Structure 1
Amino acid sequence: MEDRDKNLNSNVEPEQQEQDEKKNAQKDKPDFTPEQQEWIDKFVSHNKAQAKKEMEDYKKKVDSSIDERINQKLAEQERRAKMSAEEKAADDRKHLEDENRRLKAKIERNDRLSYGRSIADQYNVPMTMVSRLVGANDEETEANMKDFASAFNNAVQSGVDKRLAGNNQPQRGTQVDVGGDKSLDDLSLEDQTKLFQENPDLYKQLARR
């Protein structure tokens, strides 16, 4: 009997607790004018609709990507099914050779980047510029570093000479495209040098991006 009463109480208590929570929520709910409530309802409805559309678009994108991969896999299986044992072996060998070439190229690129970073300080080259100055080999990378340092130093010296000569004319506009969110890394070495000469202040702004 006691167990039955306990079960009944346990069933009633959650319901009562839920009702109390609803009452408290309503009690704490701020009062809005009809116009304010209408605006809030529209705002919430708009956000829900936008979130729903974004989820649907994302799902379509994922589904499309999955379908594309499935179709590629099926096409590959069909292509392989038509091959003889010798053709399959040759195809596997070609695939391995291509993968080895890609891996080797990646390792060589990383080695050249590592070398470029190791000599960047020597030529006062910012680390953000190293990847743009890396050449086909270490010699070409170092030559690019020297060219960059020379061009940059010349630009700096040109700016210093103009200021020492008392050239206080307002900075003119630059012909270099620096629109959008472009940073120095997005510009060629030639454009960086030109920008430094034409508009040093803008050059400094891009350098901080």
Structure 2
Amino acid sequence: MDEKDKSLNPQSEPEEKQGQDEKKNTQKEKPDFTPEQQDWINGFVSQTKAEAKREMEDYKKQIDSTISDTVNQKLAEQERRAKMSAEEKAAEDRKELENENRQLKAKIEYNDRLSYGRSIAAQYNVPTTMVERLVGADNQETESNMKDFASAFNSAVQSGVDKRLAGNNQPQQGATVSVDSNKSLNDLSLDEQTKLFHENPDLYNQLARR
């Protein structure tokens, strides 16, 4: 820029100088690391990238294996079916359909019994968390289980009340149930489940989730 241009643009030189100063300040703000620190950072970044790459490769191998297994199963099934006669195929399809219908029917019937159990749970003061455990082979058995639970539960409650009223001088008469925390509710009898629900509801809920 000649002298004439500078005289026409008196602000250009200070602006250029300001831009250079800002550039220098930005460069100065870059943190300085010791060689050891920089080596550690480089190693950490490289390790992170390597781990991410390995995880991605493992995931890809898993997906490829799953796809390959599925394809092989489909091909094997097609080959097996290709060797069958029309009558054999029809018989197999009919058998598979009948099996699916049985499973669907069993599920519908169970849901009906479960719905019935929930509808009468309040009548026998049965907690909702216990209903699934009390569903029987039919509505009559389900209601019978409800009654048994209510009777055992009320007996346990009354036994606890009697002991508190009598004080601690009398020995306990089998109201406490000992349960291994590694078990599930399916391993316990209905009477044991009832006592456990009354005496240790936290443990009962823990076993119910298994």
Structure 1 and Structure 2 fold alike (TM over 0.5): yes
Who is 1:70 aligned against? 71
Mapped to 1, the partners of 2:197 and 2:87 lie a distance apart of 61
Aligned residues: 177
Match of 2:181, SS state, is coil
Counterpart residue type for residue 178 of structure 1: S
1:114 aligns with 2:115: yes
Mapped to 2, the partners of 1:163 and 1:80 lie a distance apart of 71
Match of 1:175 among 174, 178, 198: 178
Mapped to 2, the partners of 1:123 and 1:164 lie a distance apart of 26
Instruction: Say if 1:175 and 1:41 are closer, same or farther in 2 by CA, change over 3 A.
Output: farther
Match of 1:70, SS state, is helix
Match of 2:126, SS state, is coil
Match of 1:135, SS state, is coil
Counterpart residue type for residue 176 of structure 1: V
Who is 2:81 aligned against? 80
Mapped to 1, the partners of 2:48 and 2:158 lie a distance apart of 56
Task: Say whether the 8 Å CA contact 2:153–2:195 is kept in structure 1.
Answer: no
Shift of residue 96, structure 1, vs aligned partner: 1.2
Counterpart residue type for residue 124 of structure 1: N
Shift of residue 32, structure 1, vs aligned partner: 8.9
Where structure 2 has 5 or more consecutive residues not aligned to the other structure, the ranges are 1-22
1:136 aligns with 2:137: yes
Shift of residue 143, structure 1, vs aligned partner: 0.8
Task: Say whether the 8 Å CA contact 1:155–1:196 is kept in structure 2.
Answer: no
Superposition CA RMSD, Å: 4.0
Mapped to 2, the partners of 1:114 and 1:134 lie a distance apart of 9
Using the size of structure 1 for normalisation, the TM-score is: 0.64
Task: Say whether the 8 Å CA contact 1:113–1:130 is kept in structure 2.
Answer: yes
Who is 1:145 aligned against? 146
Where structure 1 has 5 or more consecutive residues not aligned to the other structure, the ranges are 1-19
Taking the TM superposition and a 5 Å limit, the aligned residue runs for 1:16-95 are 27=29, 55-95=56-96
Instruction: Say if 1:186 and 1:137 are closer, same or farther in 2 by CA, change over 3 A.
Output: closer
Who is 1:102 aligned against? 103
Shift of residue 195, structure 1, vs aligned partner: 3.3
- If you compute each CA radius of gyration, which structure gives the higher value, 1 or 2? 2
Using the size of structure 2 for normalisation, the TM-score is: 0.64
